[in-house]
Amino acid sequence: MLSNPLSRRNNVWRYFKSKCKKKLLEEKTGSIYRKRKIEPVLVFGHLKAHLAFHRFHLRGRKRAKIDIGMALMALNLRK
């Protein structure tokens, strides 16, 4: 009889998980991780999905900054 696949343990995964946990408890690594904790990916996903913002419509850095600013304001108003 086969064992239940849901009750198996992945020892390799547990090993790397504990290794990462130890590394994050170190002062130097923990401070770096805390700075990178927030992910901006969610905002860009909302821009693409809800406002269909896939590319900049204006050329140049200054105009692109205006373009993304308008899109982010629209996203904030929508919320």
| Model confidence at 40: pLDDT above 70 | no
| Model confidence at 1: pLDDT above 60 | no
| Model confidence at 15: pLDDT above 90 | yes
Residue with the two structure tokens 């905002």: 43
Sign of CA dihedral 54, 57, 60, 61: negative
Region class of 78: left (phi > 0), else alpha (psi between -120 and 50), else beta: alpha
Mean pLDDT estimate for the chain:
81
* Alpha helices, DSSP H, located in 1-79: 11-25, 27-35, 41-51, 61-78
| Average pLDDT value for residue range 25-48 | 77
Q: What is the pLDDT of residue 5?
A: 61
Please, what is the Cα angle at 33 between 23 and 69, to 5 degrees? 165
| Model confidence at 45: pLDDT above 70 | yes
